Amino acid sequence: MVLLFELLIGHALADFVLQTDTMAVSKSRHARAAETRGDGFPPWYYWLGAHALVHGGVVYLITGNWLLGVVEVVLHTAIDFAKGEHKINFHHDQALHVLCKVAYCFV
């Protein structure tokens, strides 16, 4: 139960505190941020990847398991990409992230 609490706190920090406004808007391939900021502004996959790496790092730091950190990077990328494609909404996105954390507790 403690591990789940730590993972959920880590998720909240990574998703709501450590994620900048630029990162939140620009991580969708449909974002217009690159158009409005001009050449040289990183593409959407940079922002999505950076955000997912933060999450993977948090999972690794909490669990000490680098493989779970890598799994988190992959799953977080896939879930947030689906949200950016409007396949799922914010609530589905968060529910899937929480389910991942629950699953990690059983590994």
Checking if the pLDDT of 9 tops 60, the result is: yes
CA 58 to CA 104: how far, in whole Å? 13
**CB of 107 closer than 8 Å to CB of 68:** yes
Extract the tokens encoding 39. Answer: 């050449």
Q: Is this prediction's pTM over 0.85?
A: yes
pLDDT tens by residue, 29-74? 887 755 556 667 888 899 999 999 999 999 999 999 999 999 999 9
Give the pLDDT score at 36. 56
Tokens at residue 78, please? 């896939």
